[in-house]
A = this chain, B = another copy of it.
Amino acid sequence: MTKPLTGILPVAPTPFHADGRVDEEGMRRVLDCLIDQGVDAICILANYSEQFVLSDAERETLMRISLEHVAGRVPVIVTISHFYTGIVVERARAAKEMGAAMVMMMPPYHGAALKGDDAGIFEQFAAVNEVGIDVMVQDAPLSGVTLPVPLLAKMAKELEYVSYFKIECPFAADKLAALIEAGGDSILGPWDGEEAVTLLADLDAGATATMTSGLQCEHIRPIVTDYLAGDKDAALKQWGKCLPLINHENRQCGLRATKTVYMEGGVIGSDYVRHPLKPMSQRTKDRLLSLSRELDLIALKWGK
């Protein structure tokens, strides 16, 4: 990319039919709805996209459909995480060939116990670096891997394409600040994540973009743009407006939130999540939809 990506870069949910099959037409509609929310890029196959319930073949199909359908309207970031370095590299190559702008990856992990050590982590990112596509490092608790700031800074400095970092671990803002301090100009994208639940503090720490869900991008984007333009008061005010729904999504709904709102708004036909994930309770859903209606979300009207 010629200049660093900033703004709002939501994760697209993976829609399923009510019988559990991937809803390919729904996937296209999800992408269109996100673009209509004015997003700066879209990330696919992330954890919020239920990447852990997809077969290899489904991942490939979803990547192809998404890149073909977005067709350059916004940059697309493709998640490629896997424990085995060979599979990660192969996924990076496929994403690059199909026109992805960036790949996102967690460090190698499997289950509760299998992790790469610092050398193994560096080697895996170095192998993907050779592919020649921008890489975003996802620092998320799901991996169970601790990524020390010196390791992240070393990757940013020594690996040409590894310049973006989405920090989602506890006390993310302090880690972002430390990473910016340690990595300097090598850090092109210190990013906020986790449904933007730490966005204000992350912007204070120097974040330049947020990877949210696709729930309320039109409302969250101005928080980032106003803040980066120097209007912190406007950002703070907008943050206060968005936070109840962000909080409810992050703490009560998780990845089910976008699906349920998109179904309500006619974007997709079902908010099915794959077992052993569970549907949300009616109480949680009622609150989600009521908070969404108060914000008059684009997604709630999109398909109507």
Contacts and interface: CB of A to CB of B under 8 A. Distances in A.
Interface stretch (A33-41, A52-60, A182-190, A242-250): A52-60
Given A111-B109, A144-B112, A144-B113, A87 B120 contact: no
Interface residues of A, number: 34
A274 interface: yes
Contact of A109 (B53, B54, B112, B275): B112
A108 interface: yes
Report the copy number of this chain in the oligomer.
2
A89 to B, nearest CB: 10
Contact of A110 (B52, B116, B123): B52
Contact of A85 (B85, B111, B276): B276
B275 A124 contact: yes
Nearest to A112: B144
A86 interface: yes
A87 B55 CA distance: 7
A84 interface: yes
A143 interface: yes
A13 B99 CA distance: 37
Interface string A114-128: 101100110110010
B83 A52 contact: yes
Contacts of A110: 52, 111, 142
Given A113-B141, A113-B142, A275 B85 contact: yes
Given A20-B86, A53-B87, A87-B53, A112 B143 contact: yes
A278 interface: yes
A56 B57 contact: yes
Contact of A274 (B53, B55, B84, B274): B84
Contacts of A111: 52, 109-112, 142-144
Interface string A26-66: 00000000000000000000000000111111000000000
Nearest to A122: B276
Nearest to A142: B111
Nearest to A54: B84
Contacts of A276: 83, 85, 108, 116-117, 120-121, 123-124
A55 B94 CA distance: 15
A275 B115 CA distance: 11
Contacts of A114: 52, 142
A132 to B, nearest CB: 19
A52 B276 CA distance: 20
18 contacts: A52-B110, A53-B86, A56-B57, A84-B274, A85-B274, A85-B275, A86-B274, A86-B275, A111-B111, A111-B112, A111-B142, A112-B112, A112-B143, A112-B144, A113-B144, A114-B142, A120-B275, A120-B278
